[in-house]
Structure 1
Amino acid sequence: MTQLPSNPSPNLVFHPPLPDQRLGELKDMAQAVVIAAATLEGRIAKETAKALGDRLRFINSYHSNLIEGHKTTILDIEAALNKDYAKDAERRYAQELCAAHVKTERAMMHALSTAPPDNPCSLDFVGTIHRTFYENLPPQHQFTHGGDGFTQFSVLPGKLRDGSVSLDGGITPHGPDARQLPGVYESFSELYHPGQFHGDERLIAAAASHHRLVWLHPFRDGNGRVARLFSGLYLAHIGINRGNLWSLSRGFSRDKYWYMTNLQSADSPDENGQGFDQAFFADYCLYFLEVCLDQITFMDRILALNRIDARIDGYIRDRDKSRGALDPLDPRAGRLLKALFLQGTVPRGEARSIMGMDHQSDRHARRIVSQLVQEGLACATSHRAPLTIGFPAQVLRYYFPDLVGPEVLGDSGIN
């Protein structure tokens, strides 16, 4: 679908809000996603899930920006968050985009958990996503971006676009006309309010609303990133993936062409030209749910405890003094890291016994714990607080090699 007819009825555009074809199949898939997501959340200790979920925001950022054609690495994103940027302008811009994405997701998830919105589809909430993202970019990058670089037009952070939009160089208009946009957006906000749905239909609505928001193209720029951030927050709002243990953006970016093809197919108009073709709409929603299930299954496999144990052992082996490590780590630290991952928290007083050390080794045990904390392998809010697991960049390729390969992690130098 390219553009609405003149003077449309906004309620007709998105009616029905959920596909009226293959609904039984969609409900079965939604139930499978709900069960798989809950199983994944249930197998990981709360504190471990929190630490891992925050680290995986880098994965969301990496893949969402990769879809937009901006490639960076986890280490480059981490450097940007510490205001350490590459000298190369293009590489620095990619860093800034990804860092802004991480900051925005953190801020919006905090807002979602502390003061949840009545409706995550509202312009107030979605506009805040857009505004927060651009306010985390330098002022010179808060302008629309085209094939020749930045234009002189502000992105108007958080405000609806005031002009037409095209995705093919101006040949075909996309989404509603700017004059129609406020009314059509209000219809979208009302129809996809999570409170309008029950049970597995809420997850189908999450799938549908992703397409609808992409099609609306409500802002001058940044719509794809905002839509993917929105969908993660919508899912969290309805109780799916609140811990961020799997990445929707990673699923989309694994085959960017197929992601775009499914979105564009769902744009197809119905025979009356007043709404969307229901067959293509159903196909797209199934695609969205299949991506969710695929990413949950992938992370469930990665986080299998026998694999984590073996990978922690591999990291510890590479830090062994006998192997010539420049900064050796006592091999017994591996027992504590495994306990932290499995249990979530460990009282400091139990660390020595977990590492299999006797009373005479108490001072040495404290030195091991201190080293783990200094390196970020273990975390604590104070010298007496319980220990929790940490995921510094240097362990990611050991703990999660299938998730964070060399091309994703990057090297340690910023040039």
Structure 2
Amino acid sequence: MSYDWSRPALTPILPCRKLIGPLKDMATEVATASAGLEKSIAKVTARTLGERLRLINSYYSNLIEGHKTTIPEIEAALASRFVDKPERRYAQELCAAHVLTEREFMAELEHDPRMDICSADVLSRLHASFYSHLPADHLCTHQAGGFTGIPVMPGNLRDGQVSVDGQTQHGPNADALPRHMAIFHDAFTPQAFHGDEKLIAAAISHHRLTWLHPFRDGNGRISRLHTGLYLAGIHVNQCNLWSLSRGFSRNKDGYMLNLRATDSPERVNAQVFFDEALTADFCRFFFEICLDQIRFMRNLLRLEEIDRRIEWLVRTTIMTTDKDLAPEAERLLRAVFREGKIPRGRIPEIVGMAERTARRRVTMPLERLNLLTSETPKGPVSLGLPGGALPFLFPSLFDPSIIGQEYGEQSII
């Protein structure tokens, strides 16, 4: 079949009434479950944990593209320390750029909640920002054999055709792409929707953006970054307590299958349309992934389980790292996890010690280990999450498959 690629190719914006009803129910369930998860722990703790989960987003988004590293290697890359092996370093660089770009745009969204998330300008800046955090080699496209001589042109729309499978054309012609990006903005800007339809639009926009394939390289990562930004913009997962990329990666075959199944538009009365039923199928898959990851994190953050893991962390630390740390430190860590911030004056009461003893045996060792943080020397303390503590506190999230050998159970540093 010969397609008229000059025609708008992003419809249906939302599925028909028959198909959208069950999707509305799922969208409501996702929004409610995500909000409940954020309310289940103190806001300060949620923000601290959410910042650490940017490493998870980065790790899994790049794993989808076939590039594997470890969480400690990502942290090292953020500190400009890299391994010698070229492939591992390549993955490190990409993951660090992902973390920095996500952090930058989430901060911008928090500062300006009216950010025009679906505009070509924001998408171009997202792409340009990602590549600005990468070494010069990355300014050329990358294939299995290494970097090519083809410039990426960060922030600029592609100027040629693209084929994901090497045979069939993917997305619109390059000369029609600017118009399609304008259509994408008008069709999927969150302000065009109300209530549960915003979340359905977020799901569909993820597919439509991957189909548009607007840039020469980096489209998958940029699409996932954009969807995270979209969700936060409609007040879903604002604290980043669950990872969509983790869900996609753990069901990569289903993710790719659902993207590809929805990809092929058909021509009807001189217009190009996507199949409504397949679009609805992709939404269902998207929401199932969201719900799976929300449930996973809800179970992980149960307070009785957190208490048990804090006890494990403190006891291991005393045995292997800091014998000056008192066992009563468990009480303080449990309190800061629940409350977010604790005034220093309350610490002796919480741990059941005199002020000087509490400072010497609890507060100072925990701050030295970065398990407690404070904005000022005399200010309230909140939970710190150093890399070595993550496998103790969140073992099924920071499991051995992604932390490598750098972090073991023998020490938190």
Per the TM superposition, whether the score is higher than 0.5 is yes
Give the AA of the match of 2:244. Answer: L
Give the AA of the match of 1:139. Answer: A
Query: For the Cα contact (< 8 Å) 1:104–1:129, is it kept in 2?
Result: yes
1:218 aligns with 2:214: yes
Aligned counterpart, 1:305: 303
- Between 1:68-77 and 1:262-271, the stretch displaced more is 262-271
Aligned counterpart, 1:366: 359
Aligned counterpart, 1:377: 371
1:400 aligns with 2:394: yes
Query: For the Cα contact (< 8 Å) 1:117–1:125, is it kept in 2?
Result: no
Aligned counterpart, 1:345: 341
Query: For the Cα contact (< 8 Å) 1:75–1:411, is it kept in 2?
Result: no
1:7/1:89 CA distance change after superposition, 3 Å: closer
- In the TM superposition, residue 213 of structure 1 has moved relative to its aligned partner by 0.2
1:283 aligns with 2:259: no
Give the AA of the match of 2:29. Answer: A
Aligned counterpart, 2:200: 204
- In the TM superposition, residue 411 of structure 1 has moved relative to its aligned partner by 2.5
The percent of aligned pairs where both chains have the same amino acid is: 51
Aligned counterpart, 1:121: 118
Aligned counterpart, 2:411: none
Q: Please, which of 163, 166, 170 is the counterpart of residue 166 of structure 1? A: 163
How do 1:9-408 and structure 2 match up within 5 A? 10=8, 13-20=9-16, 21-169=18-166, 171-270=167-266, 272=268, 274-321=272-319, 325-328=320-323, 329-357=325-353, 359=354, 362-367=355-360, 368-408=362-402
**1:151 match: secondary structure:** strand
**2:273 match: secondary structure:** coil
Give the AA of the match of 1:158. Answer: G
- Between 1:255-264 and 1:143-152, the stretch displaced more is 143-152
Distance 2:2 2:59 in 1: 32
Distance 2:295 2:3 in 1: 39
Give the AA of the match of 1:5. Answer: D
Query: For the Cα contact (< 8 Å) 1:15–1:275, is it kept in 2?
Result: yes
Give the AA of the match of 1:393. Answer: G
Aligned counterpart, 2:410: none
Query: For the Cα contact (< 8 Å) 2:59–2:71, is it kept in 1?
Result: yes
Give the AA of the match of 1:181. Answer: L
Distance 1:355 1:404 in 2: 29
Distance 1:87 1:258 in 2: 34
Distance 2:150 2:112 in 1: 33
Query: For the Cα contact (< 8 Å) 1:3–1:175, is it kept in 2?
Result: no
**1:319 match: secondary structure:** helix
- In the TM superposition, residue 191 of structure 1 has moved relative to its aligned partner by 0.5
Q: Deviations over 1:104-143 (max 9, x none)?
A: 0000001111123442010111111111100000011111
1:150/1:43 CA distance change after superposition, 3 Å: same
- Between 1:150-159 and 1:335-344, the stretch displaced more is 150-159
Q: Deviations over 1:226-285 (max 9, x none)?
A: 000000000000000010000000000001111000001111324627110111110001
Give the AA of the match of 1:304. Answer: R
Distance 1:89 1:118 in 2: 37
**1:38 match: secondary structure:** helix
Distance 1:176 1:271 in 2: 14
- In the TM superposition, residue 394 of structure 1 has moved relative to its aligned partner by 1.1
Two-structure CA RMSD over aligned residues (Å): 1.4
Query: For the Cα contact (< 8 Å) 2:119–2:185, is it kept in 1?
Result: yes
- Between 1:200-209 and 1:150-159, the stretch displaced more is 150-159
Q: Please report the TM-score for the alignment, with normalisation by the length of structure 1.
A: 0.94
Q: Please report the TM-score for the alignment, with normalisation by the length of structure 2.
A: 0.95
Q: Deviations over 1:205-228 (max 9, x none)?
A: 000000000000000000000000
Distance 1:79 1:370 in 2: 26
Give the AA of the match of 1:54. Answer: E
- In the TM superposition, residue 91 of structure 1 has moved relative to its aligned partner by 0.8
Distance 1:213 1:269 in 2: 14
Query: For the Cα contact (< 8 Å) 1:75–1:412, is it kept in 2?
Result: yes
Distance 1:3 1:244 in 2: 43
Q: How many residues align?
A: 402
Q: Deviations over 1:19-70 (max 9, x none)?
A: 2252000000000001101110111101000100000000000000000011
In structure 1, runs of 5+ residues without a counterpart are none
- In the TM superposition, residue 7 of structure 1 has moved relative to its aligned partner by 3.1
Query: For the Cα contact (< 8 Å) 1:194–1:205, is it kept in 2?
Result: yes
Q: Deviations over 1:327-346 (max 9, x none)?
A: 33321111100000000000
